[in-house]
Chains A and B, each alone.
Chain A
């Protein structure tokens, strides 16, 4: 890894776009085109109608972005932000998946597809160590997030989860006010200034297109929102922490078609600003939004990663017979 990326969690550090990097690496050499200042100032909304997204993970030395902040680099040039090697996960006697190798590129949307029960959700839970909360769950192998050894026993999981956002299948806002929902994680992670928290809340609610819908009722219970609004609030809550990577676990499957479309557009709009891994059963959705796709299948009761590649490869020239059958809708 030649660039930090992680230090740019302070979007509001006004005079300098990126704050100062304690390691001594001067991040200000980053191109202006990526600067958060510019994105914040620019009134131009992102495609998909979700408003501007100011955070950039890509603004480091050598970062290459186009005007919309979409990275021009590929994995080969930059190295993956998340790399999974030989990962296996089991619950008691049941093996959820075995021997998975997966690379996730910065700023891209990686979709995990495959039938139910092939370990896709378990894989997500390994990345932010939610598996720790599941009794009897054992994980073996290696996961690297940037230069962080995720599965290390001495890892501070709270710090890890601050860097890895997760959106669940069922929208899960806390039974608190909309404002509290967003404020709680910010305060927890040390954002002491009230004004800054308010600023961040406004920004992320704009980012998810919820601001106009809830600006007058920020102090009402979040549980009173509609399903789609709840899910967008959860996304806003994750965005507020400026995660390096966001995991989506079938984020649209509990929503009605219209809300589902709104959330899908929102996720598509995260491309380039955030690294996204999404589990979906909806092949059309994967095709619409994913840059890369990984296909999972169950063999002998154990989940396996069958094939991965760009969305085009997987959907148009799959290398494996199973993949071909699955994406053609013949199986699963």
Chain B
């Protein structure tokens, strides 16, 4: 008789709730099923059409007939060069900015400095949201024309560096903040200088988190297309220097699928290479950050 909590003022609510719960459960399960399905579809499609074209020769030889035939050797090489330029520019600047923003070095900020920090943070938030095509416009106007780099790997890489900067800074700052305060205090108590504290204690402790930021930045840079069309350009030959134009993997896919009749098979194979690279990189970032968070 104790099961009769539904009596009295509290009507038979249980049944209604149960039905709502089941309805919601069904609705909630549809989304992951759909998302998983679409992801599987996309991956399956890429594998089915792209796997056949994939070979060592494909990865190393130059494209022929506007990419319909041949491989992606120079494209892969240009992509790596663009990435290298991007990281060489973004990491030092980003690292120093993260050190300042995280506030782990130096005095507590004064009124004026905290205003400065706040505006830096705001600008970085906006920068993270700037559409990639606008980065492309900017890179074209600033790096290619004003700084005279033309359509080049240098100008493309620097444009990407601007894009990657907020992502990297966010992660690096977070990583530095996560370093236990006791470490910092004990270093200060031992009379270590700030620079020494940073290089010998904070940076090693924050390294896994910083690496996550680096890997996320690489992922973002590799995926980017629109910002590169008018900065690093289309040329699919092997670049002779950083001032040569070079075509990235993403642009290669775009060009083959939109502008080259019969380019689809190689577009598939290239897409498979790119997605494969990104999956590896993102999984690395995810497991790194999981391991790091578990430890912390």
Q: Which of B3, B9, B13 has the most CB of A within 10 A?
A: B9
- Inter-subunit contact A9/B2 (CB<8 Å): no
Q: Mark B1-22, 1 if CB is under 8 A from A, else 0.
A: 1111111111111100100000
Contacts of B3 in A (CB 8 A): 148, 159
Task: Say whether, besides A159-B14, A162-B10, A191-B10, A9 and B1 are in contact (CB < 8 Å).
Answer: no
- Inter-subunit contact B8/A7 (CB<8 Å): yes
Main secondary structure on chain A at its contact with chain B? loop
Total residues of chain A contacting the partner, CB 8 A: 30
A44 within 8 Å of B (CB atoms): no
Contacts of A147 in B (CB 8 A): 1-2
- Inter-subunit contact B5/A162 (CB<8 Å): yes
Task: Say whether, besides A23-B1, A147-B2, A158 and B8 are in contact (CB < 8 Å).
Answer: no
Q: Which partner residue on chain B sits nearest A20 by CB separation?
A: B7
Q: How far is the CB of A274 from chain B (nearest CB, A)?
A: 16
**Which of the residues B5, B13, B17 comes within 8 Å of A9, measured between beta carbons?**
B5
- Inter-subunit contact B2/A190 (CB<8 Å): no
Within 8 A of B (CB), among A184-224: 188-192, 196, 200
Contacts of B12 in A (CB 8 A): 190
- Inter-subunit contact B17/A4 (CB<8 Å): no
- Inter-subunit contact A191/B2 (CB<8 Å): no
- Inter-subunit contact B4/A191 (CB<8 Å): no
- Inter-subunit contact A146/B2 (CB<8 Å): yes
A117 within 8 Å of B (CB atoms): no
Interface residues on B, range: 10 to 19
Q: How far is the CB of A173 from chain B (nearest CB, A)?
A: 22
- Inter-subunit contact A188/B13 (CB<8 Å): yes
A250 to B238 CA separation, bound complex (whole angstroms): 71
Contacts of B13 in A (CB 8 A): 188-190
A264 within 8 Å of B (CB atoms): no
- Inter-subunit contact B5/A163 (CB<8 Å): yes
Contacts of A163 in B (CB 8 A): 5
A115 within 8 Å of B (CB atoms): no
A83 to B6 CA separation, bound complex (whole angstroms): 23
Q: Which partner residue on chain A sits nearest B15 by CB separation?
A: A190
Q: How far is the CB of B53 from chain A (nearest CB, A)?
A: 45
Within 8 A of A (CB), among B263-287: none
A183 within 8 Å of B (CB atoms): no
A10 to B13 CA separation, bound complex (whole angstroms): 15
Task: Say whether, besides A156-B14, A159-B14, A188-B17, A196 and B9 are in contact (CB < 8 Å).
Answer: yes
Q: Mark A133-158, 1 if CB is under 8 A from B, else 0.
A: 00000000000011110000000101
Task: Say whether, besides A159-B14, A188-B13, A10 and B8 are in contact (CB < 8 Å).
Answer: yes
A254 within 8 Å of B (CB atoms): no
- Inter-subunit contact B2/A6 (CB<8 Å): yes
Q: How far is the CB of A302 from chain B (nearest CB, A)?
A: 26
- Inter-subunit contact A190/B6 (CB<8 Å): yes
- Inter-subunit contact A23/B4 (CB<8 Å): yes
Contacts of B5 in A (CB 8 A): 6, 9, 159, 162-163, 189
A97 to B3 CA separation, bound complex (whole angstroms): 29
Q: Which of B2, B6, B14, B17 has the most CB of A within 10 A?
A: B2
Contacts of B7 in A (CB 8 A): 7, 9-10, 19, 22
Q: Which of A4, A25, A159, A162 has the most CB of B within 10 A?
A: A159
Contacts of A148 in B (CB 8 A): 2-3
- Inter-subunit contact A192/B14 (CB<8 Å): no
A13 within 8 Å of B (CB atoms): yes
Q: Mark B249-275, 1 if CB is under 8 A from A, else 0.
A: 000000000000000000000000000
- Inter-subunit contact B8/A9 (CB<8 Å): yes
Q: Which partner residue on chain B sits nearest A160 by CB separation?
A: B5
A12 within 8 Å of B (CB atoms): yes
Q: Mark A1-39, 1 if CB is under 8 A from B, else 0.
A: 000101111111100000101110100000000000000
A146 to B4 CA separation, bound complex (whole angstroms): 12
- Inter-subunit contact A19/B8 (CB<8 Å): yes
Contacts of A191 in B (CB 8 A): 9-11
Contacts of B1 in A (CB 8 A): 4, 6-7, 21-23, 25, 147
Contacts of A8 in B (CB 8 A): 8
- Inter-subunit contact B6/A159 (CB<8 Å): yes
Contacts of A190 in B (CB 8 A): 6, 9-14
Contacts of A23 in B (CB 8 A): 1, 4
Contacts of B6 in A (CB 8 A): 159, 190
User: Could you show 12 A-B contacts with beta carbons less than 8 Å apart?
Assistant: A9-B7, A10-B9, A10-B10, A13-B9, A25-B1, A159-B3, A159-B6, A162-B10, A190-B9, A190-B11, A192-B11, A200-B9
Binding site for A on B (CB under 8 A): 1-14, 17
Known: A10-B8, A190-B11. 19 other contacts (CB 8 A): A6-B1, A6-B5, A7-B4, A9-B8, A9-B9, A9-B10, A10-B9, A11-B9, A19-B8, A22-B1, A23-B1, A145-B2, A148-B2, A159-B6, A162-B10, A188-B13, A189-B13, A191-B9, A196-B9
Closest 4 CB pairs of A and B: A10-B8, A190-B13, A190-B11, A190-B10
